[in-house]
Structure 1
Amino acid sequence: MDIIKMIEQEQMSKEITDFNVGDTVQVHYHIKEGNRERVQVFEGTVIKRQGGSNRETFTVRRISYGVGVERTFALHSPKIEKLVVTRRGSVRRSRLFYLRERTGKRARVKEKRNY
Structure 2
Amino acid sequence: MSIHPVMQRLAEKLKRTDLPSFVPGDQVRVQVKIKEGDKERLQAFEGLVIAVNRGPQGTFTVRKMSFGQGVERIFPFNSKVVDKVEKVRSYKVRRSKLFYIRGLRGKAARLKEVERATAKA
TM exceeds 0.5?
yes
Deviation at 1:15, TM superposition (A): 1.6
Q: Given residue 111 of structure 2, which amino acid in structure 1 is its aligned partner?
A: V
Q: Return 97-106 or 64-73, whichever deviates more.
A: 97-106
Q: Given residue 68 of structure 2, which amino acid in structure 1 is its aligned partner?
A: G
Q: Report whether the alignment pairs 1:15 with 2:26.
A: no
Query: What secondary structure sits across from 1:9 in the alignment?
Result: helix
Q: Given residue 41 of structure 2, which amino acid in structure 1 is its aligned partner?
A: R
Deviation at 1:31, TM superposition (A): 1.0
Kindly provide the CA deviation profile for residues 62-88 of structure 1, in whole angstroms up to 9, marking residues without a partner as x. Answer: 000010000000012122111111111
Q: Return 74-83 or 41-50, whichever deviates more.
A: 74-83
Deviation at 1:114, TM superposition (A): 4.5
CA RMSD, 1 decimal: 1.3
Kindly provide the CA deviation profile for residues 69-109 of structure 1, in whole angstroms up to 9, marking residues without a partner as x. Answer: 00000012122111111111110001111111112222122
Measure the CA separation in 1 of the matches of 2:47 and 2:36.
Answer: 23
Measure the CA separation in 1 of the matches of 2:75 and 2:25.
Answer: 16
**Uncovered stretches (5+) of structure 2, i.e. residues with no partner:** none
Measure the CA separation in 2 of the matches of 1:70 and 1:114.
Answer: 26
Q: Given residue 86 of structure 1, which amino acid in structure 2 is its aligned partner?
A: V
**Uncovered stretches (5+) of structure 1, i.e. residues with no partner:** none
Instruction: Work out the number of aligned pairs and report it.
Output: 114
Q: Return 36-45 or 7-16, whichever deviates more.
A: 7-16
Kindly provide the CA deviation profile for residues 37-75 of structure 1, in whole angstroms up to 9, marking residues without a partner as x. Answer: 11110000000111313x110000000001000000001
Runs of 4+ in 1 over 3 A off after TM superposition: none
Q: Percent identity?
A: 41
Q: TM-score, with normalisation over the residues of structure 2?
A: 0.87
Query: What secondary structure sits across from 1:87 in the alignment?
Result: strand
